[in-house]
Chain A
Amino acid sequence: MRSEVWAVLAVVTLLLISSFMIPTGGLEGTELELRRDGETAVLHYSLPGHEHEYPASVVAFPIEQYRHDDITMLFDIGGVDDNSSNPANVQGLIDHLGADLQNIGSSREVEVIDHDALASFFSSGNGTLILASSLWDDIGLCHAAEAWVLAGGLLVSIGHGSIPFTSEMGGTLQLHYSSLDYDGGRDVSTTPFSQAFGWRTVAPSNGLLVKDVLDASGTVLGPIYHRGMDLTTMALIPYGQGAVLVLGGPIDKPFRASMEDVFAWDLARCLEAEVAWAIGEPTFVRVEVGSAGAQGSVALDTVDDSTYSLMGQNLDDTHLVFLHKLVEN
Chain B
Amino acid sequence: MRLKVWEVLRPILAPSPIVLKFLLIGLAVRFLLAPWTAVPYDAYPFYSAAAGTLAGTGPYGMVLFSYPPLFAVISYPLILLYSQFFDPGNLGVFVPSMVEVSRTTGMLVPFVTAPAFNLLLKTPLILGDMLVGLLIFRTVRSWKGEEIAVKAFLIWFLNPLVIFVSAVHGQFDVLPAYCALVGMLVFMDRRYLLSGTVLGVGVLLKIFPVYLIMLCLVSLSLILVREARAGKGLVTLRPLALFIAGGGLSLATILPFLLSSSSFLEFVLRRGTYTSLGGLNLWFLSPVIEALGTGGWTGGAVFPLGTLLTVLGLALTILASFLLLRRPEGNERENFLLANTFVIIILLLTQPVTNPQYLIWLFPPLLLLSLERPQMLAKLYILSVVGLLYGISLQSGLAFFYPLAQCFGSPTVIALNDGIMAFYVSASFVRFTILSILGGVGAVVLASIMLPARLDPVESLLRRWTNWRCRHA
The interface of chain A, by Cβ under 8 A from chain B, is 3-4, 7-8, 10-12, 14-15, 17-27, 52-54, 77, 87-88, 91-92, 95-96, 99, 103, 182-185, 202-203, 205, 252-258, 261, 264, 316-320
- A12→B51 CA distance, assembly (Å): 24
Q: Looking across the interface, which residue of chain A has its beta carbon closest to that of B255?
A: A15
Which residues from chain B contact A316 at a C-beta distance below 8 Å?
89
Residue among A3, A11, A53, A253 making CB contact with B102, cutoff 8 Å: A253
Kindly identify which residue among B61, B191, B201, B253 contacts A103, using a CB–CB cutoff of 8 Å.
Answer: B61
Find out whether the CB atom of B63 lies under 8 angstroms from the CB atom of A96. Answer: yes
Selected A-B contacts with CB under 8 Å, 12 pairs? A3-B194, A14-B74, A17-B76, A21-B76, A23-B57, A87-B300, A184-B97, A254-B99, A254-B109, A255-B111, A258-B103, A317-B62
Contact A26 to B51, CB < 8 A, known contacts A14-B253, A17-B73, A77-B302: no
Q: Which residues of B contact A11 (CB under 8 A)?
A: 197, 201, 249-250, 252-253
Partner of A203, one of B58, B70, B99, B109: B99
Residue of A nearest to B96 (CB): A185
B255 cross-chain contacts in A, Cβ below 8 A: 15, 18-19
Q: In which size bucket is the chain B interface?
A: 35 or more
Instruction: Please state if B186 and A3 are interface contacts (CB–CB under 8 Å).
Output: yes
User: When the two chains form their complex, are residues A88 and B44 in contact, meaning their CB atoms are under 8 A apart?
Assistant: no
A residues within 8 A CB of B63?
Answer: 92, 95-96, 99, 261, 264
Residues of chain B within 8 A (CB-CB) of A14 are 70, 73-74, 201, 253-254
CB of B52 to closest CB in A, whole Å:
8
Kindly identify which residue among A4, A19, A25, A87 contacts B193, using a CB–CB cutoff of 8 Å: A4
Q: Are B194 and A99 in contact (CB under 8 A)?
A: no
- With A256-B109, A318-B55, A319-B55 as known contacts, state yes or no: A7 contacts B301, CB within 8 Å: no
Neighbouring B residues of A87 by C-beta, 8 Å: 300-301
Residues from chain B with Cβ under 8 Å of A12 in the complex: 252
- Min CB distance, B199 to chain A, in Å? 11
- Specify which of B44, B53, B109, B249 is in contact with A21 (CB 8 Å cutoff): B53
Main secondary structure of the interface of B (DSSP, over half): helix
Nearest residue (CB) in B for A258 is: B103
Give min CB distance, A138 to chain B, whole Å.
Answer: 20
B87 close to A53 (CB less than 8 A) = yes
B337: which A residues are within 8 A, CB to CB? none
B69 touches A (CB below 8 Å): yes
Q: Which residues of A contact B198 (CB under 8 A)?
A: 7
Task: Decide: A52 near B58, CB < 8 A? Known: A18-B253, A254-B109.
Answer: no
Closest to A54 in B: B89
Residue B328 interfacial (CB < 8 Å): no
Interface presence of B59 (CB below 8 A)? yes
**Given A21-B53, A182-B99, A320-B56, A15-B109 contact (CB < 8 Å):** no
Residue of B nearest to A28 (CB): B56
| Residue from the list B53, B62, B194, B260 in contact with A7, Cβ < 8 A | B194
A253 touches B56 (CB 8 A): no
Tell me if B143 counts as interface (CB < 8 A to partner A): no
- Given A11-B249, A26-B55, A17 contacting B99 (CB threshold 8 A): no
**A317 partner, pick from B74, B76, B89, beta carbons under 8 A:** B89
Residue ID in chain A nearest B97 by CB atoms: A184
